[in-house]
Structure 1
Amino acid sequence: MRRFFYATGSESGTDVVNEKAVTYPQLSTLPIGASVELTESIVHHWCRVLRANIGDKGVLFDGFGGEYQVQLQTISKKQAAVTLLAHVDADRSASVFTKIGLVMSRGERMDYAIQKSTELGVTAIQLLTSHHGEVNLKPAQVEKKLAHWQQVAIAACEQCGLNRPPLIIAPVSIEDWLNKPVGSDIALAISPMMAELSQDPYYQVLQQPADLRLQLSVPAAGQPAMPKALPAVLTQPSPYIELLIGPEGGLSDEECRQAQSVDFESWQIGTRVLRTETAPVVALASLATLHALSQ
């Protein structure tokens, strides 16, 4: 069955239908058997593009836990509604909470990094600029690009079965991110469609200090293949790890010093230089494997 992200709330999920604003509720507040109006994005994709018919079944998830089997009840030119058939208490989140500080790259490479990180269960991605970075967004571009990258993550969730989308956080410089106090209000720096969801207890780990901070480094003599603290941290049931991943040209010496000054440890994965869009995939897969082996 097709899976769709159901954006809740008044800011992130409001369409104007017949000149009336529609606010989409959290699905868990509704009883099984209730009728639910679909968001405009789902109506467009499911009913117009995929040409769904009344009686067709699908799956909705709103990020607050689990997913809902639904059946199309009504379809009109501008609207569609489904009936909630059942709740499936499926949690496919990664066992390791992770936040990636990722220096932005161009075009499809950035989309790839976000898409694959989502499939591997990343909790949040903090977009970064750096001395050697090739992307610096103008203020007028931020909202549009942030919405695009958040949608890339959501589409990956719809495909892979992840029911809790990662938060994509608006870009800042590496220096500003490293100096930002723990607990800064993430809701002010994400796409409006995620504002209500970001307050869910699942995401509150992002307001806490990480159990370990790792800076992915290019192969160099003396760089540790395995940070000393990593094995012990991975014995915890649900550790929280922050990763810093630089651009194609690598982090500058000053950025490396700044990262080390706030407890980032170098982590060299293998003997080859990984592209900036490959590094998140390798790092997340490695953490998941090492964590599973340590339990």
Structure 2
Amino acid sequence: MRIPRIFTDSPLTTGGQCELDENAARHVGRVLRMQAGQALLLFNGDGMDYTATITESGKRRVAVEVQDATRKLTESKLEIVLGQTLSKGDRMDYAVQKAVEMGVTRIVPLATERCDVKLKGDREDKRLRHWRQIAISAAEQCGRARVPEVLPVMTLPDWFEHTGDCDLRLVLHHRTEQTLGSMAKPTRIALMVGPEGGLNPEEITAAQAAGFMPVALGPRVLRTETAPVAAIALCQWLWGDIG
């Protein structure tokens, strides 16, 4: 029987006991309906997986005893910061989920002129919580021991400043002949993806002025939720831990 792998914000120590945080406890107690004596695999973002046994299980409270810790080797040495323009429906959800699976380090939602989503106040907070939970679920599923950050929505000037320490900054742009294979090996990448209608010429110019290099992934125009997955996969294959 498969042992569920669960993220928790709780501190985990080999040989110690702990109470799972509210979200993890709800999932284990209410959704999975696990009972005392059953095994769990836990992680809290410190790079380790912890085997544990449930000592108490209820709808609101789940306590465990931690047995062993194993260091996970699922994080790429290539750091990728994804700037993903906001999009409607489940397209943003898909981009976040697959970016986590492909090994991205951090995700930054971007507000650009042509994006069709406007988030402010409580609505933004609700969406951020939703995307962060998607990132947690994706990390649980794909075996990552660290959950990528999902930061608050940024404007382009804030995004340009945020990525100033990256040694390769890329903006996806199908109207260029420059490809990923022509670039020197980086250690930290900032990847900028536009909305469904594409970034406008002024935004492309501003990105280039900030040090972003336009790059094409091929002759076809990719959807906004497909482009980051393809780009991250290629970056990991060229310079990271795929292939």
Q: TM-score, normalised by structure 1?
A: 0.77
Structure 1 counterpart of 2:237: 289
Q: State the Cα deviation string for residues 94-122 of structure 1 (Å, max 9, x = none).
A: 23100011101012111000000000010
The answer to whether the aligner puts 1:278 opposite 2:218 as a matched pair is no
| CA-atom RMSD in angstroms | 1.9
- Give runs of aligned pairs for residues 55-134 of structure 1, distance below 5 A: 55-134=37-116
Q: Assess, with a 3 A threshold, how the Cα gap between structure 1 residues 181 and 33 changes in structure 2: closer, same or farther.
A: closer
For 2:155 and 2:126, the matched residues in 1 are separated by 19
1:126 Cα deviation after fit: 0.9
The answer to whether the aligner puts 1:44 opposite 2:46 as a matched pair is no
Structure 2 counterpart of 1:213: 169
For 2:24 and 2:112, the matched residues in 1 are separated by 37
Q: Assess, with a 3 A threshold, how the Cα gap between structure 1 residues 50 and 286 changes in structure 2: closer, same or farther.
A: same
For 2:143 and 2:166, the matched residues in 1 are separated by 26
The answer to whether the aligner puts 1:136 opposite 2:122 as a matched pair is no
The DSSP-based 3-state class of the residue aligned with 2:202 is helix
Percent identity reads: 37
Structure 2 counterpart of 1:223: 177
For 1:2 and 1:36, the matched residues in 2 are separated by 17
Structure 1 counterpart of 2:209: 261
Q: Which runs of 5+ in 2 are unaligned?
A: none
1:136 Cα deviation after fit: 1.1
Residues paired across the two proteins, number = 241
For 1:164 and 1:272, the matched residues in 2 are separated by 33
> Structure 1 residues 259-268 or 72-81, which shifts more?
72-81
- Mapped contact 1:68–1:88 kept (Cα < 8 A): yes
Q: Which runs of 5+ in 1 are unaligned?
A: 8-23, 183-207
The DSSP-based 3-state class of the residue aligned with 1:244 is strand
Q: Assess, with a 3 A threshold, how the Cα gap between structure 1 residues 285 and 151 changes in structure 2: closer, same or farther.
A: same
For 2:4 and 2:242, the matched residues in 1 are separated by 35
For 1:171 and 1:249, the matched residues in 2 are separated by 19
Structure 1 counterpart of 2:185: 233
